[in-house]
Amino acid sequence: MYIVTLLVAPAVRNLEPSLVDALRNAWGGGDAIWLAPDEAAEFAIVQIPGNRWDVWAELQQQGIDLVVQPMEGRRKKMLLADMDSTMIEQECIDELADEAGVGGKVKEITARAMNGELDFEDALHARVGLLKGLPVSTITKVLEERITYMPGGRVLLCTMKADGAHAALVSGGFTDFTSVVAHKLGFDENRANSLIARNYILTGEVGEPILGKQAKIDALSEITQRLELSERDVIAVGDGANDLGMLGRAGTGVALHAKPAVAAQCDVRINHGDLTALLFLQGYTAAEFVND
């Protein structure tokens, strides 16, 4: 059995019951269950329809996300999340680069690396090199003035943890940021790269080994083994090419507002909903959401 989930952005809440019923009837689905009025609904089907992606494309034009996934085991015991443009709305290195006056150069490299056009490690070294001479105090300034959190993140963490899940933040960014973001949102642990500084000035170097695509896969393997969980017990979320490995290995891998080349390689794509979409995908209703 499979579950079909339809959802829209919480700020819009324009999911029409007639549309849900029309798709349910066309695909021979079971009764519609509303997870949140006008926002998210689901129904069961026996097999994945052949026109799944054609319907997905049509619904995308209407601001509706469509996900089809196996029914069994969809409520997960662990969240594994990327940070930049996933749990927060920015790329931290781009914000630092703006402060250093090299924002344009770094943003171009970041965009190409996240789209899979450049090797992640080479791109990281190049970008960090452009930060040489930046005062370490700039990190605090960026955190306080430039970083905003992706909507729904706190609710996602609180709800899953209230249900006994473990949460890990694994980023190709930097520990100076992940430690703060993890504490703010309630992650149990975090992993990232380290910026090297001398006399409170960034040297333009990053600590080795680099936490990139393979390191995120390794984190998935290591943490699940430590917790005696299966990788099928994990829901992972990310947006960049360096997230594809963990998204492919996790029981449910969610491409959230992802780069086109990344989304194209993932079956679960959320382009309109916020991070609470990950709760709807697991069958949580809005009434079950925990805000603190």
Supply the residues annotated as catalytic.
Answer: 82, 84
Peptide bond before 49: cis, by omega within 30 degrees of 0? no
- Please tell me whether residue 268 adopts helix, strand or coil conformation: strand
Within 87-205, residue ranges assigned H as helices are: 92-100, 103-114, 120-129, 137-145, 153-162, 175-185
Pairing type for strands 40-45 and 2-7 reads antiparallel
What does the alpha-carbon distance between residue 238 and residue 85 come to, in Å, rounded to a whole number?
A: 8
Separation of alpha carbons 168 and 166, rounded Å = 7
DSSP per residue, 9-44: -TTT----HHHHHHHHHHTT----EEEETTTEEEEE
Q: How far is CA 234 from CA 159, 247, 282, in A?
A: 15, 10, 11
Name the helix (H) or strand (E) containing 206: strand 201-206
| Nearest-angstrom CA–CA distance, 164 and 235 | 14
State how far the alpha carbon of 285 is from the alpha carbons of 11, 89, 245, 252, 277, in Å: 17, 25, 29, 18, 10
Q: Parallel, antiparallel, or unpaired: how do β-strands 65-70 and 2-7 relate?
A: antiparallel
